Amino acid sequence: MPNHIVIDARIRQSSTGRYIYRLVEALQDIDTTNAYTVLVQPDDDWKMRSPTFRTLPCPFPQFSVNPLHELRFAWLLYRLKPDLVHFAMTQQPLLYFGNIVTTTHDLTMFTFVRRGTTPKPAFWLKMKLYRFLMWWSHRKTDRIIVPTRTVAHELTAMQPFTKQKLSVTYEAAGIPAGIKPERPADISGDFIMYVGTAFPHKNLETLVTAFDQLHATHPHLKLVLVGKTEKHYTELAEKVQQHPSADAIILTGFLSDEVVAWLYQHCKAYVFPSLSEGFGLPPLDAMTYGAPVVSSNASCLPEIYGDAAHYFNPHDAADIAAKVSEVLDNPKLAGKLRAAGATQVKKYSWHTMAEETLDVYQDVLAPKNPAKEPNFQE
């Protein structure tokens, strides 16, 4: 008997949306039995390939504490009569009670969020509310999916009761198939690069400081920072102008997949200075295109990259500069990293992730005869 599974995919169009996009795309290939309703933003024209999948516009904000939104969203879910709901983020209707699977990507919000211009009392209340929402979501969920064992350990340290609910499903790499690399018109010569947001935990200010040292010993080298122009990149651009290497730093703004693929292919190194990640996709993408990766040793990154990255202390600009220099000045090391990267990315598969997620669904739907026990054990 087929089950009706609802997947909340409203985050698909955000910077963290690749996970849910890849999951739903792969599920369409492996599950022809169950019926799926995929909740999307009203302006998302995502088309399903499988006749057992349909999209449903969901008019409620991804992040909201408006009680009316909460009640209406819960009522929408009840009217759909799902056998299971998979929320691709921790925030979910407080008053929805049913079979639930929740994906928690990371705990960065608790460590690296900045107050900005928010008044201190309001910020304190906001963080208390966020902690409660995560606690309540995890309390009422049947299974919690996390992308790495590192996040699993972090979550059990914060919420010990989650240990028996956890399943680790690794994500995977790769810019969409069929991409033909396209050379940008305004980037030439030798360069190192970073792709992603400029949120504080991405640690780009320390990378820029490290590049000052690199540029002193490699005067023809450029630093290319790729990411959609928004508040944090605007702030970073202003700070870059105060650095001696400013003329050699390029903030590109948003670039197409084709241009990013070309940059991956031609960079001297891909540098990832992040302080906290749930999985860390961009360096795996870089490995896919043959870039040697120089990475922070923080968080889950050594778990995901293994021997395929050259690691540095992300808090130490001098160490970042030294480790990048070692790759730039040692072709044998760079070649070793390229070869190891090509092997490392093959360890991860969106298809496998979808199969493991489907196992989680089946476990929750048939708790008396589980397909698999939670796969996270100390």
Residue 83 CB coordination number (10 Å) = 17
Domains with residue ranges and CATH for the chain: 4-172+349-365 (3.40.50.2000), 191-347 (3.40.50.2000)
What is the structure's pLDDT at 42?
93
| CA–CA dist 259, 254 (Å, integer) | 10
Compute the distance between CA of residue 241 and CA of residue 224 in angstroms, rounded to an integer.
15
Specify the 3-state DSSP secondary structure of 34: coil
Is the predicted pLDDT of residue 377 greater than 70, yes or no?
no
In terms of C-beta density within 10 A (0-12 exposed, 13-18 middle, 19 or more buried), how is residue 203 classed? buried
Residue 52 or residue 132, greater confidence: 52
This prediction has a pTM of 0.91
Q: Which two three-digit tokens encode residue 48?
A: 């399903």
Residue 312 predicted with pLDDT over 80: yes
Paired strand residues for 36: 5, 53
83's enclosing H/E stretch is none
Is the predicted pLDDT of residue 132 greater than 90, yes or no?
A: no
Residue 310: phi, psi to the nearest 5? -100, 115
pLDDT (tens digit per residue) in 42-68: 999 999 999 999 999 998 877 766 677
Tally of CB atoms within 10 A around 228: 14
Q: What pLDDT is stored for residue 125 in this prediction?
A: 77
pLDDT for 370 equals: 46
- Of 3 and 91, the one with more pLDDT: 3
What is the average pLDDT across 175-191? 88
Whether residue 373 is predicted with pLDDT greater than 70 in this model: the reply is: no
pLDDT for residue 113 is more than 70: no
Expressed in percent and rounded to 5, the helix, strand and coil fractions of the chain are: 45, 15, 40
What is the average pLDDT across 113-137? 75
User: Is the pLDDT assigned to residue 367 strictly greater than 70?
Assistant: no
**Tokens 């050379």 map to which residue?**
183
Residue 116 has pLDDT above 70, yes or no: no
pLDDT at 215 over 80: yes
Nearest to 28 by CA among 45, 11, 43, 7: 7
Coil, strand or helix: which one is 293? strand
| Lowest mean per-residue pLDDT among 60-74, 215-229, 232-246, 336-350 | 60-74
- The bridge status of strand 191-195 relative to strand 269-272 is parallel
Mean pLDDT, rounded, for 227-236: 93
Question: Using alpha carbons only, what angle is made at residue 299 by residues 10 and 260, rounded to the nearest 5 degrees?
Answer: 60
| Average confidence score pLDDT of the chain | 91
